Structure 1
Amino acid sequence: MPEGHTVHRLARTFDHLFRGEAVSVTSPQGRFADGAALLNGSPLLRAEAFGKQMFLGFGPDPAATREVPDEDLNWLRVHLGLYGSWTFAGDGSVSTVHAIGAPRKRIGEQERVLDAAVLAPGTVAVHRSNTAESVEWIVPDPRGQVRARILGQHAVADLTGPTACEVLNFPEMRRAAAKLGPDPLRSDADPQRFIDQVRRSRIAVGQQLMNQSVIAGVGNIYRAEALFRAHVDPYLPGNLVPEETLRAMWDDLVVLMEYGVKTGAIVTTEPEDRDKGMDPAALAEASGRRAVTRQNTDGDPDAVPRDRSFYVYHRHGQPCRICGTTVSIADMQARKLYWCPTCQN
């Protein structure tokens, strides 16, 4: 499941590709036909991310501008869940990516990025005559079970496999967003809501960090890494975690997740720690039985390699980068939990 920084990147991508443009909205698969009909021909005026959910605001008529109040917009709510993805193609006049977070096949806890060749970018046909040359963008056909397609003048976005895809009015949109906890990536987030909710419960803090009604956008990677960086035992009851520790954890997540939005990758290690805990024998043994964490920056020679990006996530069986203790793994609420028994004691 994409973590919150990925959804914020998606919102920025939609804002970049389609802002202010009346777009065609269809449902090639047919399951979103009624919702698509409500939005078809409307301009996309807003793109908002709340944690792991994205809300796209469409104007009431083709001539609507960005000055239209939020209350007058129709809102497309999309929650990708475990299997959903957006893929993009364009005519070359605007910068696009094939996918943010990349379409994934999920096999247990393992996520594998599909070959980019299947993403079918649009092609450009050049027509020449004795007197003129014209360029026509050939929009790619939908691939797979496309729930919703958004087509603009220069780009197309296809949605497949979402957990939720629905059109809401403004009160419905606000109620959906209100169910979520504060999002560290939003300027209007109130960290005290997060702190108070954790501390009023005896539920383990590691479990609460994965509850989207407690804090929105934190997934399994940010959960493991934030707890490690704060030296907090994931099994510690929330009401026993000091307020100042939770405040520092929130501030740390803001920094880490903003880096994720900027780069498309999660990197939580400090530069001086990245070569620690890299025992070749332990690494070779662990690599044969652990999932590979994919990043949007895979293949970028200037990016931090994924085996140096994390302190504990997917590093079970390897030595802790700080103290050398073997990193532990366990199940918590049907998800894998990673932690250092010494540093987080």
Structure 2
Amino acid sequence: MPEGHSVHRITRQFARNFVGHRVAVSSPQGRFAEGASMLDGHVMTDAKAVGKQMYLEFDNGLWLRVHLGMYGAWDFAGEIQMDATIASANGRMGQTNQAGTILDGPIHDVDGENSLHSIGAPRRTRVRMAESEKESDALLTFPPEPIGQVRVRLLSDTVCADLRGPTACEVLDPAQVDAIIAKLGPDPLLDDSQAAEDRFTAVVRKKPTPIGLLLMDQNVVAGIGNVYRAEMLFRAGLNPHTPGKLVPEDTVRALWRDWAHLLKIGVETGQMMTMDNLEGEDYVNAMANRADRHWVYKREGLPCRVCGTHITLEDFGARKLYWCPNCQR
């Protein structure tokens, strides 16, 4: 399932390529035909993400809400303007490592991810944006024919976005959007204030629920999924089974700040990099291979990178949990 950084990246692509443009909205699959007709021909006026959900506003006051869930993905095609915010932060075409050194050229992940999908000049191509971001061959015609079960297609003069397999895809009015967002926990990329940190801390500190479940509860904190959950708990040296109310306050606050830190890295690189202070070849290897950029996630049975204890895998809240029983006592 795409975690918060992916949804923020996708939303920035919409902000860059669709906001301010009149959009043709259709449902090639047919399942969203009624909703598409309510948005078709209107100008997109806003795009925002809250945790794992994204919201696209149109000039008739309606919003398109999308939750990708386990299987959803957006495909972008056309003359794609990559996210200027990330591009300007990096300063040039190239991958910036954690120490601030700019490396020449993209670093391609062995699974097909390309950390530079949010940097670059317009090009006529197709880009998939979900948990991984993959690029196919150059397009010969525009717009391309829909591939597979496309729930909704958004089309401007130059860019096409196709949505497949979402958990949620619906048209809402402003009051309905506000009601849904009000139920979500804070998202540090939208609100990094002391009040947001205090809200997260207060909720966690009064719950008997294990901290490993609270971090996955979108009503407690928005955007954290299975990968970030495992990595954050390891970085904090925290046993996943510890009740929230027994976690020291300074540890809870450190979790919030670490989530803000990791989320920013994820948005800028496109990958869930959770090992700090990597430089040179170590950083290149980590960006190129998921196995080299996580502390515990998907490392069951392997020795802990810190203490050598075998990483444990267990079912926890209907999801797989990876942790070190020694470092996370």
1:218 and 2:216 are equivalent in the alignment: no
| Aligned residue number for residue 181 of structure 1 | 185
| Aligned residue number for residue 86 of structure 1 | 74
1:330 and 2:318 are equivalent in the alignment: no
> Quick one: structure 1 residues 97 and 216, their matched pair in 2 at CA, closer, same or farther if it must change by over 3 Å?
farther
Counterpart residue identity of residue 219, structure 1 = G
Flag structure 2 segments of 5+ consecutive residues without an equivalent: 82-121
1:218 aligns to what SS in structure 2? coil
| Aligned residue number for residue 53 of structure 1 | 53
1:76 pairs with one of 64, 67, 72? 64
In 2, distance between residues paired with 1:92 and 1:193? 38
| Aligned residue number for residue 305 of structure 2 | 321
| Aligned residue number for residue 261 of structure 2 | 255
Number of equivalent positions: 286
Post-superposition offset of 1:97: 5.5
Counterpart residue identity of residue 150, structure 1 = L
Counterpart residue identity of residue 327, structure 1 = I
Post-superposition offset of 1:221: 0.6
1:175 aligns to what SS in structure 2? helix
| Aligned residue number for residue 29 of structure 1 | 29
Contact 1:267 1:304 in 2 (8 A): no
> Quick one: structure 1 residues 302 and 216, their matched pair in 2 at CA, closer, same or farther if it must change by over 3 Å?
closer
Please give the TM-score of this superposition, normalised by the length of structure 2: 0.81
> Quick one: structure 1 residues 201 and 229, their matched pair in 2 at CA, closer, same or farther if it must change by over 3 Å?
same
Counterpart residue identity of residue 155, structure 1 = V
**Residues 136-182 of structure 1: per-residue CA shift (max 9 Å, x gap):** xx311111111100000111000011111111110100001111111
2:42 aligns to what SS in structure 1? coil
> Quick one: structure 1 residues 92 and 58, their matched pair in 2 at CA, closer, same or farther if it must change by over 3 Å?
closer
1:162 aligns to what SS in structure 2? coil
Contact 2:17 2:80 in 1 (8 A): no
1:10 aligns to what SS in structure 2? helix
| Aligned residue number for residue 234 of structure 2 | 228
| Aligned residue number for residue 327 of structure 2 | 343
Post-superposition offset of 1:303: 2.7
Please give the TM-score of this superposition, normalised by the length of structure 1: 0.78
In 2, distance between residues paired with 1:100 and 1:251? 26
In 2, distance between residues paired with 1:339 and 1:102? 22
Counterpart residue identity of residue 130, structure 2 = G
1:12 aligns to what SS in structure 2? helix
1:54 aligns to what SS in structure 2? strand
| Aligned residue number for residue 129 of structure 2 | 100
In 2, distance between residues paired with 1:210 and 1:201? 14
Q: 1 or 2 for the larger relative contact order (CA 8 Å, sep ≥6)? A: 2
| Aligned residue number for residue 112 of structure 2 | none
In 2, distance between residues paired with 1:143 and 1:179? 35
Contact 1:90 1:121 in 2 (8 A): no
In 1, distance between residues paired with 2:183 and 2:257? 22
> Quick one: structure 1 residues 76 and 99, their matched pair in 2 at CA, closer, same or farther if it must change by over 3 Å?
same
Larger radius of gyration: 1
| Aligned residue number for residue 140 of structure 2 | 123
1:157 pairs with one of 161, 174, 187? 161
Contact 1:123 1:139 in 2 (8 A): no
> Quick one: structure 1 residues 25 and 331, their matched pair in 2 at CA, closer, same or farther if it must change by over 3 Å?
same
In 2, distance between residues paired with 1:26 and 1:327? 47
Post-superposition offset of 1:123: 2.1
**Residues 33-64 of structure 1: per-residue CA shift (max 9 Å, x gap):** 1111111111111110000000001112xxxx
Counterpart residue identity of residue 77, structure 2 = A
In 2, distance between residues paired with 1:232 and 1:338? 12
Counterpart residue identity of residue 34, structure 1 = E
2:46 aligns to what SS in structure 1? strand
Comparing 47-56 and 83-92, the one that deviates more: 83-92
Post-superposition offset of 1:80: 0.5
| Aligned residue number for residue 196 of structure 1 | 202
